[in-house]
A and B are shown apart, each in its own frame.
Chain A
Amino acid sequence: MTASPSISIAIIGSGGSGALTTVNFLLEVASSAGWHGLFTRTLGPQIRGGEAAGLLRLAVHPVDCPPDQFDLIIGIDWLNAHRFGAEIKAGPKTLVISDPRGGEPPPMVTQSGAHVVEIPMKEMAKSISGGRPNMIALGIASRLLGFTVEQMLAPIAKQLSGKGAAAIEASRAGIKAGFAAAAGIKLDVKLAAPSPSDARRWLLSGNEATALGAIRGGVRFAAAYPITPATEILEWLSPSLAKVGGILLQAEDELAAINMIIGSSYGGTPALTATSGPGLSLMIEAIGLATASEIPIVVVDVMRGGPSTGIPTKSEQTDLNIAIYGLHGDAPHLVLAPQSVADCLFTTQWATYLAEALQTPAIVLSDQFMGQARAAIERPADVAFIGARAVATDMSSAYKRYALAPGGVSAMAIPGTPGGQYTADGLTHSEFGIPTSSAADHLAQLDKRRDKLERFNYGDHWASIEGSGELALITWGSLTGAAREAVGRAAADGVDVRVIAPRLLAPVQPERLAAALDGVKRILVVEQTHSGQFHRYLRAHYDLPAPVRAFHRPGPLPITAGEIHRAIMDWR
Chain B
Amino acid sequence: MSSVTTRLACKPGDYKSDLKPIWCPGCGDYHVLMSFTRAFAKLGLPPEQITVVSGIGCSSRIPAYTSCYGFHGVHGRSLALAAGLKVTRPDLTVVVASGDGDGYSIGGNHFLHACRRNIDMTYVVMDNRIYGMTKGQPSPTTEPEFDTALTPGGTGVAPFHPLVVALASGANFIARCFSGQPNETADVLVEAIKHPGFSFVEILSPCVTFRPDEQDWKEQVRPAPVAATNDQGKAARRLMTDDGFNLGILYRGNRAPFQPAIGVSSIDLSELEKDFEL
Contact = CB atoms under 8 A, between A and B. Distances in A.
Contacts of B67: 421
A426 B68 CA distance: 17
Determine the main DSSP class of A at the interface with B: mixed
Contact of B260 (A28, A249, A379): A249
Interface in A233-267: 236, 240, 242-247, 249, 251-253, 255-257, 259-267
Contacts, number: 183
A553 to B, nearest CB: 33
Contact of A259 (B51, B81, B87): B81
B278 A28 contact: yes
B69 A421 contact: yes
Contacts of B264: 245
B82 interface: yes
A245 B266 contact: yes
Residue among A208, A212, A423, A426 having the largest count of chain B Cβ atoms under 10 Å: A423
A340 interface: no
B170 interface: no
Contacts of B89: 267-269, 415-416
Contacts of B77: 255-256, 259, 286
Nearest to A418: B48
Interface residues of A, number: 65
A19 B113 CA distance: 40
A5 interface: no
Given A249-B83, A252-B113, A422 B88 contact: no
A557 B78 CA distance: 41
A421 B262 contact: no
Interface in A508-561: none
A424 B73 CA distance: 8
B110 interface: yes
A299 to B, nearest CB: 14
Interface in A419-445: 419-427, 433-435
Contact of B272 (A215, A433, A434): A215
A285 B74 contact: yes
Contacts of B68: 421
Interface residues on B, range: 35 or more
A392 to B, nearest CB: 12
A393 interface: no
A288 to B, nearest CB: 8
A289 interface: yes
Given A244-B272, A246-B262, A423-B63, A221 B88 contact: yes
A165 B111 CA distance: 53
A433 B69 CA distance: 11
A313 interface: no
B275 A262 contact: no
B25 to A, nearest CB: 19
A212 B53 contact: no
Interface in B242-278: 260-267, 269, 271-273, 275-278
B92 interface: yes
A204 interface: yes
A417 interface: yes
Interface in A260-311: 260-269, 271, 285-286, 289, 293
A468 interface: no
Nearest to A28: B278
Residue among A253, A263, A415 having the largest count of chain B Cβ atoms under 10 Å: A263
B262 A427 contact: no
A460 B157 CA distance: 60
Contacts of A236: 275
A255 B76 CA distance: 9
A171 interface: no
A84 interface: no
A415 B51 contact: yes
Of all A-B residue pairs in the complex, the 4 with the closest CB atoms, nearest first, are: A263-B84, A260-B84, A423-B70, A263-B85
Interface of A: 28, 31-32, 200-204, 208, 212, 215-216, 220-221, 223, 236, 240, 242-247, 249, 251-253, 255-257, 259-269, 271, 285-286, 289, 293, 376, 379, 413, 415-427, 433-435
Given A212-B273, A415-B49, 19 more contacts: A200-B277, A240-B275, A243-B267, A255-B80, A255-B109, A255-B110, A256-B110, A260-B83, A262-B84, A263-B85, A264-B88, A267-B84, A268-B89, A415-B69, A416-B92, A421-B47, A421-B67, A421-B69, A425-B64
